[in-house]
Structure 1
Amino acid sequence: MQKNMSVIGVPMDLGQNRRGVDMGPSAIRYAGMMERLEDLHYNVEDLGDVPVSRADSQNTVQEGNLRNLKQVADSNQKLAEMVDQEIHKDRFPLVLGGDHSMAIGSMAGIAKNYENLGVIWYDAHGDLNSGDTSPSGNIHGMPLAVSLGIGHEKLTRILNYAPKVKPENIVIIGARLLDPPEKALLQELGITVYSMHEVDRLGMPYVMNEAISSLKQRTDGVHLSLDLDGLDPAEAPGVGTPVLGGLSYRESHLAMEMLSEADILTSAEFVEVNPILDDQNKTASLAVGLMGSLFGEKLK
């Protein structure tokens, strides 16, 4: 894994309707992220936060069932440009969220630099809705669909190209709450999904071995998008859309350790940390611990 790393915060809370997730990047930094990474001998530069436009009462009207479309699109455009610049400098982008709508920008900036970007989507949700299918209009439930070229042009055409990723290059891990249109799209596109049923039945070592093997064969870079709600709420209470029956602390560390050993990641993001909903910064501290395992921390 690239030892030169650029950290980018995205204080985004416009993709959903629960306040506080914009403080996620600060909470992760406060939990000791920089010290953890530097102890692992990474050359880390914290670039601060991407400017996020604020919505006000006069411009929060949903456009085509998309809440805060303009602000979300503008912020993701800025993020995409920033991520693209860091990759051109041969640096590993580590992006901190913020709600998951920020993945629209990170994926746009990353995928521009690869012919066949692979994606590991570690999440309780599929995030495969669009304005036509979303019951809420919350864009944080749409970033994977947008990256596939499905959705509003202001989102799908960030950096003027689409799609960002091919369905055969996506692996979803930990899914346990999917809307009916998302299930239909998964079947239509043939996206690989390891739901909690598969994780329970097959075990995390099998799931990760299969995911890593598949992506190694067909991709030239791999992005990890880790939503903290992929873990069980008992482990990660500080998230906006918790779903019972999630991945355990130990399963998640094992997944990160296996990704570290495989040495296939070229970028990563940790999203949906909401310190207002958290218990003494437990979820942000968990995110930092998972980063430790992902970036090579070992007991011996």
Structure 2
Amino acid sequence: VLCMMAGSGLIIAANLHYTTTAERQRDIFLRNGIGPRVTAEIQSWLGAAMQVRDTIHWAVMKQIYTEEFNYGTIRQLVEPAFGQIEGLISVELAFSTSPHIVSVNAVENPSGAVENILLQSDAPSCFSIGSLGCLQRSEAFDSHSTAWYEIGSSLDESDTPLDSNEAPTLWAGPTIRPDASNQYLIPVYTMIWKSVFPAVVGEPFLVGRATIDVRALSSLLVDEALVDEGHSRVFLTTRQGTVVSARQPLASYVDVSGSDGTTELKSVWEVRG
């Protein structure tokens, strides 16, 4: 297995079996040809994915977004991102001053393209959003008890200048989850960040979570110079070797185990080419 850094902890890996000089030359091509290209493309994708975080954080810093459950402002900030960021599934916002959340989800047409968004909340004011605006939650639900809020609230913003558009951020994943139709499993990454409302007593903050479908990254792992254009031969993995994306069926790099059907992504050395 050959590995190369591709950005944000992602690595390009390829199955290599040296038997001829030509295959050694293919190793060199992978390192010096495909590696830099895919690295640049993935970094571009990561930059686009961060736009939704940057937009919300900028609005908080400039005091354009000042009221947690201002649904009109949230829609204006988030809605454009769903048409611009490939794979963006949902954006969720939780607040240090409230146990409630705001959730924005992509609504896809039969071809898989985003045609609308669904804005919802479990806050008492959710009825102002519209007939579908209220999330169904148990009375015991508290956003502060969710794992992603706990992670986000612990992020340290002390090293970030107050007027900076850089919010403390953590990428979590990859994990497997159902798609919007609950018919298929898909690999996703989540981006968690923290934005502190400036000039407000008590320094309230929001924690944001954007969930991104990473299946589209498999289109980057193709090159005409490779055997079968790299299908079933080139993988995108984490530093630990967990497969994130590949040009082969998801079932080939997902492991289902236990009586409860627990799913997890395989390590690259467990995947059969």
Question: Same fold by TM (over 0.5)?
Answer: no
Bigger relative contact order, structure 1 or 2 (CA pairs below 8 A, ≥6 apart): 1
* Structure with a larger share of its residues in helix: 1
Query: Given the two structures, how large is their TM-score scaled by the length of structure 2?
Result: 0.31
**Larger CA Rg, structure 1 vs 2:** 2
